[in-house]
Structure 1
Amino acid sequence: MTQNTSRSSKVPAAQHTLAILKLLTAVDAPMSAARIVQETRIPRSTVYHLLAVMEEAGFVVHLHQEKAYGLGLAAYEMANAYSRQQPLARVGLRFARQLALQVQGSAHISCLSGSEVLYLLEERAPNGVRLLTDAGVRLEALRTASGKAMLAFRSSAEIKAAVGVCGVGGQKYRDVERELEEIRDRGWATEYAQVSPGQESIAVPIFDHLGRAASALAVTFSIGSLDRRNIAELIEEVRESAAKIAIAVYRTRPK
C-alpha cells in the first residue's frame, strides 16, 4: 500500500463527502438520498449524516418538496472562484514570463485568502533563483509585497484581521496602517528579503470591475541587480501589465 493510499484510507468521511459532491456535480437535477446511496455505495446512515453537515455548511441544499438534494451556494462559490482564477493565470502568463525574463528573476500572480496570499502563477527565468512562491503556496500576506499591495486597498476590517493573525515582527496596527497608506498613495508595494534571502519584490494590485484589489502582479529579483532608474522603469512596466490584465480578465476600464 502506498503512503498516499494509507493516508486517504484513514479519512473515509472526507472521501465520502467528495464522492457525494462529485456525484451531485455530474448530474443535471437534484438527487434523492436513496439514489446517492445507490450510486456511491456509501452506507445509508453515513450519507444522511454527511448531507446534513454539508447542508449546514451550504454545500448542498435539501429540496424538501422533491425529497432531493442539489448543490448549494457554497459549492457554486467555489466554482466561481475557480473560473475567476483560471483566466487570471492564463492571461497573466505572458506578462509574468516577460517580466521574469527582463529581471532574470521571477514574476507571480496571487490573490488574498483571508490573512494569506495564495499564489496562482509563478514564472521564473531560466537562471532565476527558485523561490517559495510556486503556484498553490500560501504565505502570510504582510510578509509579501503582493499581500501588502492588495491589503492597502482593502477595508480596515480586513487589514485588522490580517494584522491580528500575522503579527509580522510584532508590528502594531498603526505601524502597518501607516505603511499600507503609503502603498495606497503610490500604488505599489515592496519587500526586501522577507520571503527569500537576497531577493526583493515589487507588487502592484490588479483591480476588478468593482474597483477592488482582487489580485496582484509581482516581480522578484536579486537585491542590487537593478539601479534606481531601472527600478523606476520596472515599476511602470508592472503597473502597465497589471492594468492590461485587469482589462482582459475583469473588463476594468483604464483609469
Structure 2
Amino acid sequence: MSQVPAATRALRVLRFLATQPGPVPVDRVMRACDLPRSSAYHLLRAMADEGFVVHLPEDRTVGLGVGAFEVGSGYARSVPLARLARRPLADLADGTGASAQLAVLHGRDVLYVVQERAPGRPPLVTGVGVRLPALGTASGRAVLAALPGPQVRALYADAEAFPVTDGTGPRSLSELRTVLAETRQRGHAVEHEEVSEGLASVAAAVLDHTGHPVAAVAVTLPVGEDVGPAVAGVVRTAGVLSARIGGRG
C-alpha cells in the first residue's frame, strides 16, 4: 500500500469497474479491490460525489460514473488516437467522397478531434475543437448506444440534460432510449439535418478492449445521397481503429 492508501484504493476501484460489462454489487467491489468494509462505503460515496462512480441503490450496485468517462475521453483525445485515426479517416473520406470526423464523448457533449474534408465538399460546423450536444449528433448517438444503460441514465437524469431544440432529436430519457435502441439494432447511428440543414451523418463507435466506446467515426454528406457506401465505410473504419487500440472490432 502506498503512502496515500485512499488514493490507491480509489484507483483500484476504477480499474476494476473498467473491466466489468456493467454495474456490480458493492460486496464484489470490496472483495476484488481488498477494501475494508469499514471504509468502503465512505470511499464509494466520495467517488460518487465526484462523479467517478454511480450508485444504483435499487440494484445495490455501483458502476463507472460520468467522471470516469471524461477521464477516458481525455486520453482518447490525446495524440496517439488522433495519430492512429488520421490515415484511416483520410482513406474513408477518399473512399466515400464525403467528409469524415472522429469525435469523443465529453460529459453530455461530443468533441470533434480529427476531421478529413473531402475535396469539393463544403466546410462543416463539426470542425476540430467544436463541441455539440451528443444526443443530437450521429457521433454522440453511436457512443451513447454502446454505453451501459445505467451510464446513459446517469448522464441524462433530469430534464435539464435535454437542450431546447427546434423539435428534432430526443427530448426525454425515454425518447433517447428509443433512439439508442434503434441505433444498436441498425448497427450504426444516423442524424438527418439535426446539426446542419441539408446534411446528414452516419457514425459507428470505436470500442476498447472491454467493449466501452472511446470515440466515434462519422461521415457527413448531403441529404438524398446514397448512404450505403458511407455506412459501410464508417463501420469498417471504426473496426480498424478498435483493433488498433486493442479493442473489439
TM-score interval (norm. to shorter): 0.5 to 0.7
Give TM-score scaled by structure 1 length.
0.62
Q: Which residue of 1 aligns with 2:220?
A: 220
Alignment match, 2:102 = 109
Is residue 240 of structure 2 the alignment partner of residue 251 of structure 1?
no
Q: What's the offset of the Cα at 1:242?
A: 0.7
Helix, strand or coil at the partner of 2:147: coil
Across the aligned residues of Structure 1 and Structure 2, the Cα RMSD in angstroms comes to 2.5
Change (3 A) 1:122 1:83: closer
Please tell me whether the aligned partners of residues 109 and 140 of structure 2 are also in contact (alpha carbons under 8 angstroms): yes
Greater relative CO (CA pairs within 8 A, separation 6+): 2
1:177 CA displacement: 0.4
**Distance (Å, rounded) in 1 between the aligned partners of 2:77 and 2:125:** 23
Q: Which runs of 5+ in 2 are unaligned?
A: 1-49, 51-66
Letter in 1 for 2:128: A
**Percent identity for Structure 1 against Structure 2:** 34
Q: Does 1:136 align with 2:129?
A: yes
Matches within 5 A, 1:124-203: 124-160=117-153, 161-162=155-156, 164=159, 165-167=161-163, 169=167, 171-203=171-203
Question: Taking structure 1 as reference, are residues 217 and 130 closer, same or farther at Cα in structure 2, changes over 3 Å only?
Answer: same
Deviations 1:164-209 (A, max 9, x none): 4134546222111011011112221000111111111000000011
Whole-angstrom CA distance in 2 between matches of 1:207 and 1:137:
22
Provide the TM-score with structure 2 as the length reference. 0.63
Please tell me whether the aligned partners of residues 96 and 233 of structure 2 are also in contact (alpha carbons under 8 angstroms): no
More helix, by proportion: 1
State the 1:135 CA deviation. 1.1
Runs of 4 or more consecutive aligned structure 1 residues displaced over 4 Å after TM superposition: 77-80
Aligned residues: 175
CA, structure 1 residues 126+247, in 2 after alignment: closer, same or farther (shift >3 Å)?
same
Aligned to 1:65: none
